[in-house]
Amino acid sequence: MIRKDVAALKLAPNAPVGWDEARRSLDGLPGGGLNIAWEAVERHARGPKASQVAIRWLPAAGAARPITYRELSEASSRFANLLRARGVRKGDAVFVLCARIPELYFAVLGGLKVGAAVSPLFSAFGPEPIATRVNLGRGKVLVTTEALFQKKVAKIAVPMPTLEHVLRVDSPEFRREFEAASPACEVVRTEPGDTSFLHFTSGTTGSPKGAVHVHGAVVMHCATGRVALDLHEGDVFWCTADPGWVTGTSYGIVTPLVHGVTSIVDEADFDAARWYRILEEERVSVWYTAPTAIRMLMKAGAELAKQHAFPSLRFVASVGEPLNPEAVWWGMDALGMPIHDNWWQTETGGIMIANTAAMDVKPGSMGRPLPGVEAAIAHRRETGIELESRNDTEGELALRAGWPSMFRGYLDQEERYRKCFVDGWYLTGDLAKRDADGYFWFVGRADDVIKSAGHLIGPFEVESVLMEHPAVAEAGVIGKPDPVVGEVVKAFVSLKAGFTAGEDLRMEILGHARKRLGAAVAPKEIAFSTTLPRTRSGKIMRRLLKARELGLPEGDLSTLEEGA
């Protein structure tokens, strides 16, 4: 455990920050209602923060571009007016397919101002995933760039009957119209239960699920930005997630703006040396990233980190998949502070369980439920669910329904949505356990857990132990069918620089795992791989490893990272 000096911190453990207090800290629309764009931009642009930098955009090449809250207000209002001119009204769906460029943020916020349901898409999506999502969401407008239009949109082979307009934000025609548009607009009155975002999450098979989120989620973004991410006045915040997935929207766009801090947006792809320069030169104080990125930094070596100084950095958090204990300790060595894991889902819309700034960090734990969040370990029964009262007992992670950012439906899948809720609890599909101190520990997705000779084996536990070996950079673990024990554990590992795959190393890693885990839990097989298949949000796709191993259908690959 990494202990904290609570007296020296700004927040006490389990600080009593509830939804009502967070709601009171927001303005609300003049005349009533609640709108994310108003809380994120307009109230700052019309007050003392107007000239403060809201977004500091770092292009892949060239000089940084600071965008103040006033400039962000005017640009997003211009965009809102262009959407209105094309007939976009409250409830219409606007899809945004752009790299991390300023126009992405203008389009998202402009869409929210007119009351549209906004859906940012990964710029790396291929034609088919784009069309699938636009059709599921009944998109009316698609915002993109000339290059992405030619490379992706123009190659879509299926009809998109609801799509009326494609706006290419870097075309000369659009630029002229944008500059001529009014920099002021009236924000449409939206209520807390009105749709704000459509976020798509891939399923094991079939089409992606479209999770519906609402403007009331801004209350959650306000509360969790303060409690889970420790945002304070004057912070420089960097969320490395792409807005094409929920973290990049909730915490890359909305949360830092709601708190009135400066947000770093980097257009370029991951590069370890560049990231360290950004942390140092931009004086980042709060950094929110993903385990995959941390493991890639680990692979580059702590020596690279130590070539830089981070005097402004005070809090680092991670989300996307469980953070292995080894990565938490690496943070202490390379950055001088632990990395605080937290847990939430596309469906929850915001952080639910976290290692906050004031907590003692237990490496490998996702932390404790935030104030206002009620979490439990549950078991499904024919008559409902049974809540687990014993500590250190595995079950399904359940959340008491009703938090502000809770998703309000799956598009066209009402029955699937209803099945997520039993007896007033949302059943997450994640297996976890709770210890005597109230910390929750991730075991695995319900469909990832390996059943071997009567043992239930969580792949994350095995992966974490494998990563403790000095040669292992990443690990993915699956259950492989076996006629005797049901399933045996098979691990896929990628190696750090300087190590070469071979039988001697394989046996060494197997021995390490058996010593740490015991013969019943340790992998029986290890395969070396240059890279592991991951989603663009950083999660290792165990189901894809299993499908490829067994020659099964690979299911929805729309979120697969290119080249994986």
- Residues 154, 281: one domain? yes
- Residues 360, 454: one domain? no
Domain boundary among 354, 371, 388: 371
Residue 513, in any domain of the structure: yes
What's the CA gap between 126 and 144, in Å, rounded?
13
Residue 128, in any domain of the structure: yes
Residue-level pLDDT at 326: 86
What's the CA gap between 519 and 501, in Å, rounded?
23
- Residues 475, 356: one domain? no
Residues pairing with 166 in the sheet = 142
- Residues 350, 479: one domain? no
Residue 339, in any domain of the structure: yes
- Residues 193, 333: one domain? yes
The amino acid occupying position 39 is E
Residue 418, in any domain of the structure: no
Provide the edge-to-edge strand list for the sheet that holds 525-528. Answer: 472-482, 486-495, 525-528
Residue 165, in any domain of the structure: yes
Q: Which residues of the chain have pLDDT under 70?
A: 2-18, 202-207, 447, 449, 451, 453-456, 458, 484, 535-538, 553-564
Residue-level pLDDT at 74: 98
Q: How many CA atoms lie within 13 A of 154 on its CB side?
A: 8
What's the CA gap between 498 and 223, in Å, rounded?
44
- Give the angle subtended at the CA of 342 by the CAs of 340 and 348, to the nearest 5°: 160
What's the CA gap between 286 and 411, in Å, rounded?
34
Q: Which of 490, 489, 563 is nearest to 530 (CA)?
A: 563
Domain boundary among 371, 401, 427: 371
- Residues 315, 229: one domain? yes
List CB contacts of 224: < 8 A, sequence separation 6 or more.
Answer: 255, 350, 351, 354, 370
Q: Report CA Rg, the chain.
A: 23
What's the CA gap between 138 and 185, in Å, rounded?
25
Query: Tokens in use for 204?
Result: 């094991």
DSSP SS3 for 380: strand
CA distances from 405 to 60, 70, 229, 313 (A): 33, 27, 16, 28
Query: CATH no. for residue 489?
Result: 3.30.300.30
DSSP assignment letter at 9: S
Residues pairing with 474 in the sheet = 494
List of E strands, 171-253: 195-201, 209-214, 236-239
Residue 466, in any domain of the structure: yes
Helix (H) or strand (E) holding 469: none
What is the total count of domains within the chain? 2
DSSP 86-144: TT--TT-EEEEE--SSHHHHHHHHHHHHTT-EEEEE-TT--HHHHHHHHHHTTEEEEEE
What's the CA gap between 478 and 529, in Å, rounded?
14
CA 181 to chain centre: 34
Domain boundary among 341, 371, 401: 371
What's the CA gap between 409 and 122, in Å, rounded?
22
- Residues 340, 470: one domain? no
- Residues 139, 230: one domain? yes
- Give the angle subtended at the CA of 225 by the CAs of 427 and 183, to the nearest 5°: 115
Helix (H) or strand (E) holding 45: helix 43-45
Query: Tokens in use for 365?
Result: 């734990």
Query: CATH no. for residue 233?
Result: 3.40.50.12780
Residue 59, in any domain of the structure: yes
- Residues 490, 354: one domain? no
- Residues 355, 224: one domain? yes
Write 269-273 long-range contacts (CB < 8 A, 24+): 270/296, 272/296, 272/297, 272/300, 272/304, 273/300, 273/304
Residue 386, in any domain of the structure: no
- Residues 467, 363: one domain? no
State if pTM tops 0.75. Answer: yes
- Residues 326, 455: one domain? no
Place of tokens 């000369």: 172
DSSP 291-340: HHHHHHHHHH-HHHHTTS--TT--EEEE-SSPPPHHHHHHHHHHTSS-EE
**Residue 462 domain boundaries:** 448-550
What's the CA gap between 522 and 527, in Å, rounded?
14
Residue-level pLDDT at 273: 96
